[in-house]
Structure 1
Amino acid sequence: MEKTSYMRFKGSRHFRQRLLLSTLSHRAIIVEEIRSNETPPGLRSYEISLLRLIEKISDDCKVEINETGTKLKYKPGVLMGGRNLVHDCGLGRSIGYFLEPLVVLGLRGKKPLSIRLKGITNDPKDPSVDTYRHTTFHILERFGVPKEGLQLKIESRGSPPLGGGEILLGVPSLPSFSAITWIDEGRVKRIRGVTFTTKVSADFDHRMMYATRGVFNRLLPDVRIEKDHRSEPNAGRSKGYGLSLVAETDSGCFISADVVICYPKVDEMETFDDSEEKPQLLPPEDVGIQAASILLGEIEQGGVVDSTHQGLLFLLCALCPEDFSKVRVGKLTPYGIETLRHVRDFLGVTFIFEPDPATNTIILKCRGSGLPNLSRRIS
């Protein structure tokens, strides 16, 4: 029996990315010293939930966690996909934390994936489900993913801290991605967006929308923002509101920005005595202006994707056939840099950098790994 060879890592940083690339490349990993100096130590609930989710769409993967949760041994199995699956993502992180690895793994499955995810749909930490639907899916289409096979339906919204949201996700199985040349950013031709409110006044939607349009209407005429006001029973268990924006360029780029406001837990509010000032929530008008400012900043820094999607862009290029891909991005983010390091370690793919001083952007080239969809080859 062939002995398993493990790649070794230390610490909790980039756990999700290591798990994703381990599964894609079928290379087993050991991660040690996971928050060994913190209280409590070890894996967090959302990281364990991600492991259970991967187990749910895989066959014969092996997960071993020590008693303190500070050491993980993971051996990938065969990605099967599956229909009518259900997974509770918990309340530690939003559904957006799980979507990036899940969508990529779903595309490499033996069969198409359809799954109901429960938890938080919009929070300040992770990209919202709206961003995945209106921006991420367009990026995937660039790499040959059929538009008809991608589905994300928001059945109910869920804000922190108690969640209560549900989405339906559909992902097709793909034999391989297509190498791309994508360096033309183009000019912004339209702005689209959606406000959301859960368990607060519907007037919040109007106020966010009005403030946002006040920024963009001075710049271009084609601005449309939809309202998604949720009340019982589709509003989850907590109050919240926010805005997701997308700028579309005439060359087919989609640049996104999210702002989410959530109310603290009741017990957290009770910890403030009368002499202390309780945290103030950002008014809806300021949410609209802040989201518009973030989006304008993303557009200004250049590139064919926003900073949130750099890691996904590099990963998809690395998973392409053994042909060259060429993409343009703005300033590299820490997550994007770590993605470049991890695709080198797991897939053997290195990128060539060509700074463009005229636009303060960077053009990156790589030759794809040619990694086939191994799951589809197993009968």
Structure 2
Amino acid sequence: MTTKSQPVIAAPLSTQGPLKLTTPSLLRTRLLLATLTGRALHITSIRPNSLTPGLTPAEISLLRLLDTLTNGSHLEISLTGTSLYYRPGLLTANGGKPITHTIPSDAERGVTWYLEALAILAPFCKAKLDVTLKGGVITASTPLDYSVDTFRSVVLPALAKAGIERSTELRVLRRSSASKTKKGALYGAGEVQFLCGHQVRIPKTVHLTTAGRIKRIRGVAYATGLSGSVNARTIEAARGVVNRFVADVYIYSDVGKACIVKNGYGEPGKEGKMEGTKKCGVGYGISLVAETTLGGVFSGEASGGEGEAAEDVGRRAAYALLEEVGQSGAFGKIGLRVLMTMMAMGQEGDVGRICVGREQVDEELVGLWRDLKAICGGQVAIRDAEDARNGELIIGVVGRGVGNVGRKVA
């Protein structure tokens, strides 16, 4: 008589010991993957030789935000900030109640650095997510981060590819470009609201193995504390470049008032100690997005620097978009991180596939693949695309079936 063998059930990641990592490389990605899988992390050697060792104000702010989104998280930071122990809790999203998070004025990171983390975590929360970010919010593009307009036009469509599209919205309540202190540090004073009411059990497996053709270009030109003619000049210069390739081009114009803050705002040690007010967040920029026939999205943007003409900013954004499109692939570089994270969280055993250009594979993307294997146990396979015009690659990501453990089953 034969009997059926019982399936072997692997121990959940939360019961394993903490994963030991070094250096602050891709710290945000590691924290997000740990929060999704429930795996504890012990990260050491966080900038030990820097003039300002340890965690940055932006990273500490992100840890506080994660603590607000979860229930039962445990966090330990050494006195010098060079060592971090993080044991994540259950993603409850504050029980569906609105969350207001204040970003420190000296964070020096754009608000999309936080919004991208919220976009990845929101579908796996127990309840709908409603987060308002204020304080040192920079809505324009910076040397390290992209603008809120690019987030809305690229990251949200990337979530839609994974089946997350209902009740997902980004509201820009107050725009703010990046202002500089006397020491060159960046700060802002904007305000944004992110809402996501589409919680899924398992993300949909993504299959984008063909790069489509560009069918239209959309964009947003923004200016805060400046005349609307700056936007008009920026738009005209950008259209002068992209209209030679695509006829369907439409660029919106958004003009707002500058933020008024107290003197000393954005400067550690001086905030709240100086009398009077000043203007903050004065600046302008443009974000362009190209959409393909297969639903792919590519982006290019630029913000105005000191003494830079508006025409030069418009042309710089257009050339950045053309360069992004020229790298081929089925999706833009910004959306790839979100897509591959969702593919790794998908149905266990299912293999999601996406076409990427060789120039899109950089150190940050390879680091994501390594962290997916170390933290989630996921596997990534790479092969040449069939009939590749520009040497495209097909990246296959095996789903781990992590899913949303807190979502109620109807």
Normalised to the residue count of structure 1, the TM-score between the two structures is 0.91
Separation of aligned partners in 2, 1:202 and 1:366 = 46
Of the candidates 89, 107, 130, which is equivalent to residue 149 of structure 2? Answer: 130
> Does the CA-based 8 Å contact 1:155-1:234 persist in structure 2?
no
Partner of 1:270: none
Which residue is equivalent to 2:118?
102
Q: Does residue 72 in structure 1 map to residue 84 in structure 2?
A: yes
Partner secondary structure for residue 375 of structure 1: coil
Partner SS, residue 407 of structure 2 = helix
The match for 1:341 is 370
For residues 15 and 258 of structure 2, the distance between their equivalents in structure 1, rounded to whole angstroms, comes to: 54
2:289 to 246, 271, 277: 246
Q: Separation in 2 of the partners of 1:330 and 1:105?
A: 27
Of residues 41, 45, 55, the one that matches 1:33 is: 45
Runs of 4+ in structure 1 over 3 Å off = 232-236
Partner of 1:237: 280
Whether 1:140 aligns to 2:159 is yes
Tell me how far apart the structure 1 counterparts of residues 389 and 236 of structure 2 sit (CA, whole Å). Answer: 36
Q: Distance in 2 between matches of 1:115 and 1:313?
A: 22
Q: Which residue does the alignment assign to 1:166?
A: 191
Q: Corresponding residue for 1:371?
A: 402
Percentage of pairs with the same residue: 32
Aligned residue number for residue 90 of structure 1: 104
TM-score, normalised to structure 2, is 0.84
Are residue 112 (structure 1) and residue 137 (structure 2) matched? no
CA distance in 2 between counterparts of 1:319 and 1:186 reads 26
2:374 is paired with a residue of what secondary structure? helix
Q: Is the 8 A contact 1:209 1:225 kept in 2?
A: yes
C-alpha spacing 1:114/1:207, structure 2 compared with 1 (3 Å): same
Q: Judging changes above 3 Å, is the alpha-carbon distance between structure 1 residues 232 and 159 closer, same or farther for their aligned structure 2 residues?
A: closer
Question: Is there any run of 5+ residues in structure 2 with no aligned partner, and where?
Answer: 1-13, 180-186, 262-278
**206, 209, 212: which one pairs with 2:235?**
209
Identify the residue that residue 356 of structure 2 maps to in structure 1.
329
**Aligned with 2:393 (options 358, 362, 372):** 362
1:365 partner amino acid:
G
Q: 2:54 aligns with which of 30, 39, 42?
A: 42
Task: Say yes or no: does 1:257 pair with 2:300.
Answer: yes
Matched, 1:351 2:380: yes
Gaps of at least 5 residues in structure 1 are: 263-279
Q: Which moved more, 1:229-238 or 1:64-73?
A: 229-238
**One-letter amino acid of the counterpart of residue 172, structure 2:** I
Within a 5 Å distance, the mapping from 1:278-357 to structure 2 comes to 280-322=306-348, 323-331=350-358, 332-356=361-385, 357=388
Per-residue deviation, 1:108:
0.6
Task: Tell me how far 1:358 sits from its aligned partner.
Answer: 3.2
Distance between the aligned counterparts of 2:363 and 2:259, measured in 1? 39
Residue 367 of structure 1 deviates from its aligned partner by: 2.1
Instruction: Give the C-alpha shift of residue 335 in structure 1.
Output: 1.3
Q: How far off its partner does 1:123 sit?
A: 2.9
